Amino acid sequence: MPEITYRQALKDGMTDELERDENVVIIGEEVAQFNGAYKVTEGLLAKFGPKRIVDAPISEAGFIGMGIGASMLGIRPVMELMFWSFAYVAWDQMINNAANVRYMSGGQINVPIVIRGPANGGTGVGATHSHTPENMVASTPGLKVVFPSTPYDAKGLIKTAIRDNDPVYVMESTILYNDIGEVPEEEYLIPLGKADVKKEGADISLIAHGPSVKVCLEAARILEEEHEIDAEVVDIRSIRPLDEDTIVNSVKKTNRAVLVEENKPFCGVDAQIAYIIQNKAFDYLDAPVQRISALDAPAIYSPPLEKKQLPKADLVVKKALEIC
């Protein structure tokens, strides 16, 4: 099985769908002539032409609104945000309109739009370019939200997202773009709402999404090698819909859980997961559910300080040892 980067996996997935369905188009800042701010769309303009790979002005409210309107008429736009931080100027279009059209039309109008781009800290780009808004988006009925952590998941989820008839918001990470992993050349899809156990374990469940999955895998390695603790790592992959069964079954098996994410702690994704665990697996818990989030402050510009703001493997190990 060939090994490719997370970046290439996203491009391959979009290429597959552009070739499969002539209604798929890609729209965003610098996606065409500049080959994408992160080179995810490199070469697609030359292959598919300017009617399907479309550069947009620096006006997210304008081009996201245009994409939503196009999707209501049968086009399947894939909209690239240079940062998810820039989505906030299009919040009315993304949250108030895209999420509600199918409901308010009595199911007569679908909005098959994908909005994708990086949503992560850790790269020293400051507080206004480092938001992780998956919790805010996922709190909105009518929207679907995914955050792949591997090249395999990136390709499978982007293809599924493009084929979905509802708005799917795909969170990515600039930290992961160069990660390499095995990706099949043959056709495959990953269903929304299906988590993945990245590592089986018996003593404690480490539950995460996006770049925090890598943090948990490293923590699991340390726990096993240095402390003889067998940690299970659950990658939720799909934030909404959420695979509650895989999460709950893991905790029932291990009887302990540490939840890890880059979200801020207040009203984070893991707050919801902690509720689900205590509601559906309370009698199986041998210790309180623990959470590790980003420090509750705007993203720090200083690279050394920003590293301390984000979840790290040593913090996960420390928290795991406290409850094991």
Q: Residue 267 sits in a domain of what CATH number? A: 3.40.50.920
Per-residue model confidence (pLDDT) at position 167: 98
Claim to verify: residue 300 and residue 276 sit in the same structural domain: yes
User: How many other CB atoms are there within 10 angstroms of residue 89's CB atom?
Assistant: 15
Per-residue model confidence (pLDDT) at position 24: 98
Task: Judge whether 172 counts as a catalytic residue.
Answer: no
Written as one letter, the residue type at 55 is D
Task: Judge whether 209 counts as a catalytic residue.
Answer: no
Low-confidence ranges of the chain (pLDDT < 50): none
Claim to verify: residue 166 and residue 249 sit in the same structural domain: no
Q: The whole model's pTM is what? A: 0.96
Per-residue DSSP letter, 129: G
Per-residue model confidence (pLDDT) at position 1: 85
Question: Which of 17, 29, 80, 129 is flagged as catalytic?
Answer: 129
Of 302, 119, 99, 78, nearest to 209 by C-alpha is 119
Claim to verify: residue 285 and residue 176 sit in the same structural domain: no
Per-residue model confidence (pLDDT) at position 93: 97
User: Does 191 reside within a domain?
Assistant: no
CB 177 within 8 A of CB 162: no
Residue 32 makes CB contacts below 8 A (sequence gap 6+) with 41, 44, 45, 50, 53, 54, 55
Claim to verify: residue 123 and residue 81 sit in the same structural domain: yes
User: Does 224 reside within a domain?
Assistant: yes
Q: Which of 124, 147, 182 is the last residue of a domain?
A: 182
Claim to verify: residue 113 and residue 262 sit in the same structural domain: no
Pairing of strands 24-28, 76-80: parallel
CA dist 18 and 1 (Å) reads 23
Written as one letter, the residue type at 186 is E
Claim to verify: residue 160 and residue 44 sit in the same structural domain: yes
Residue 323, burial from CB neighbour count under 10 angstroms (0-12, 13-18, 19+): middle
Claim to verify: residue 168 and residue 217 sit in the same structural domain: no
| Domain hosting residue 208, numbered range | 196-323
Q: Which of 182, 208, 231 is the last residue of a domain?
A: 182
User: Does 9 reside within a domain?
Assistant: yes
Claim to verify: residue 116 and residue 265 sit in the same structural domain: no
Question: Which of 60, 232, 262, 306 is flagged as catalytic?
Answer: 60
Sequence length of the chain is: 324
CA dist 286 and 274 (Å) reads 14
Q: What separation in angstroms does the CA of 306 have from each of 38, 86, 261, 310? A: 21, 20, 15, 7
CA dist 95 and 97 (Å) reads 6
Q: Which of 141, 159, 182 is the last residue of a domain?
A: 182
Claim to verify: residue 231 and residue 110 sit in the same structural domain: no
Considering its fold, how many domains does the chain have in total? 2
Claim to verify: residue 58 and residue 86 sit in the same structural domain: yes
Claim to verify: residue 167 and residue 201 sit in the same structural domain: no
Claim to verify: residue 151 and residue 289 sit in the same structural domain: no
CA dist 178 and 254 (Å) reads 33
**Helices (H), ranges, the chain:** 6-20, 44-48, 60-72, 91, 101-104, 134-138, 151-163, 212-227, 244-254, 269-280, 303-309, 313-323
CA dist 170 and 172 (Å) reads 6
Q: Residue 155 sits in a domain of what CATH number? A: 3.40.50.970
